[in-house]
Amino acid sequence: KQEVTQIPAALSVPEGENLVLNCSFTDSAIYNLQWFRQDPGKGLTSLLLIQSSQREQTSGRLNASLDKSSGRSTLYIAASQPGDSATYLCAVGGSARQLTFGSGTQLTVLP
Amino acid sequence: DTAVSQTPKYLVTQMGNDKSIKCEQNLGHDTMYWYKQDSKKFLKIMFSYNNKELIINETVPNRFSPKSPDKAHLNLHINSLELGDSAVYFCASSQRSSGRAKAYEQYFGPGTRLTVT
């Protein structure tokens, strides 16, 4: 059974810092990996999708990497802004395309 | 134009009642999902439908019955509601043939906050 862990659970940084969020998963037989953002009381916004054959994806200030063999993914956020404050969720796609989620990293970017 | 919509957004009801949550997607996707987010904010898959056929039914009580009248809709009916059913329920959709890079990227609805009293 797939298990997804995200470290740290919470992170507080000053504005402008670069930061890395970590995600690890126990079963490397994944189809894809998706990073989401969730604002309080809101739904999930897809940030980046990495297919199992890919190593990384980039969108603006965000870069996600995937190392399937070691069961790890990282989300790099460059030049963080207060508007980046949210919970970031890592989700791994299984054989039936269902997502198994980590418990999230709550990010606070201080002005 | 909302891609994945859910109604209602909030639902407050008493134990023992039966309620339904509706989900619609206008993305032309062929797969739809229901996820439950508990009080600790942990998201877990409940059901998955592909072309109106049930693919995944995780260990969900049979009081929960999904219904997919067509590819664009996946509704969730809950019988005999219990206090432990209180949660936020998210609907999502994805498409297999969205081009290789985007295949099975899931798009989520805004969620339905269910409170059982």
Nearest by CB to B56, from A49, A96, A103: name it. A96
Put simply, the answer to whether B104 touches A87 (Cβ < 8 Å) is no
B92 vs B96, more confident: B92
Put simply, the answer to whether A44 touches B90 (Cβ < 8 Å) is yes
Can you tell me the distance from the alpha carbon of B51 to that of B58, in angstroms, rounded to the nearest whole number?
18
Q: Which residue from A minimizes the CA distance to B54?
A: A96
| Whole-number percent of chain A with pLDDT over 90 | 86
Put simply, the answer to whether B105 touches A36 (Cβ < 8 Å) is no
Residues from chain B that touch A103, judged by Cβ atoms under 8 A, are: 40-42
Q: What is the pLDDT of residues A21-64, one digit of tens each?
A: 999 999 999 999 999 999 988 889 999 999 999 999 999 999 99
- Residue B1: the pLDDT is 63
Characterize A9-42 residue by residue with b for buried, 16 or more Cβ atoms within 10 angstroms of its Cβ, and e for exposed: eebebeeeeebebebbbeeeebbbbbbbbbeeee
Preferred mutation among B40, B43, B50, B113 to probe A, highest tally of A CBs within 10 A: B43
